[in-house]
């Protein structure tokens, strides 16, 4: 089972997603440039840009058998978690692991968080996260 965990303030608060979003998008880019040479353009490597992670999903009101056993929070508790740390202007950490390896582990800032209450009282949401590098 692939596991997605969000934590804040050195694991002061930890939230396990009920399941890893099937369409988790990880986007990496580099700010490369091109200059004109004598016979053609030449590419030059630029700086790496922060990684962007985005996905849409659902927090279910009722517990379903295939959900992660540690995902015990109610839908609005997840919403409160993201809103609380977003408003504090504090990075949070996302960790995605498979049984045999770590897929993703990075500090992130919440760029965008949208949610809506479904008629079943599930929460439909989408979130966009941007990599945060601590300055040493």
Q: Concatenated DSSP letters for 58-124?
A: EE-SS--TTS-TT----HHHHHHHHHHHHHTT--EEEEEEETTEEEEEEEEEEEEEEEEE-TTS-EE
Q: What's the token pair of residue 17?
A: 């997603």
pLDDT digits (tens, 9 = 90+) for 12-43: 999 999 988 888 999 999 999 988 888 888 88
Cα–Cα dist 93/97, whole Å: 13
What is the pTM (predicted TM-score) of this model?
0.86
Greater confidence (44 vs 107) lies with 107
Greater confidence (136 vs 10) lies with 10
The secondary structure of residue 26, as a DSSP letter, is: E
Q: Is 90 exceeded by the pLDDT of residue 112?
A: yes
Q: Is 90 exceeded by the pLDDT of residue 91?
A: yes
Averaged pLDDT of the chain: 92
């Amino acid at each position: 089972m692939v596991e997605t965990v969000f934590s804040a303030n050195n694991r002061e608060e930890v939230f396990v997603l009920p399941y890893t979003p099937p369409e988790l998008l990880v986007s990496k880019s580099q700010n490369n440039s091109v200059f004109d040479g004598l016979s053609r353009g030449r590419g030059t490597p630029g700086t790496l840009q922060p990684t962007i992670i985005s996905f849409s999903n659902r927090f279910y009101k009722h517990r379903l058998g295939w959900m992660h056993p540690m995902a015990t929070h109610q839908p609005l508790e997840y919403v409160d978690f993201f809103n609380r740390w977003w408003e504090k202007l504090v990075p949070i950490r996302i960790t995605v692991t498979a049984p045999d390896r770590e897929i993703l582990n990075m500090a992130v800032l919440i760029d965008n968080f949208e949610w809506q209450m479904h008629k079943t009282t599930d929460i439909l949401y989408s979130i966009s996260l941007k990599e945060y590098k601590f300055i040493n």
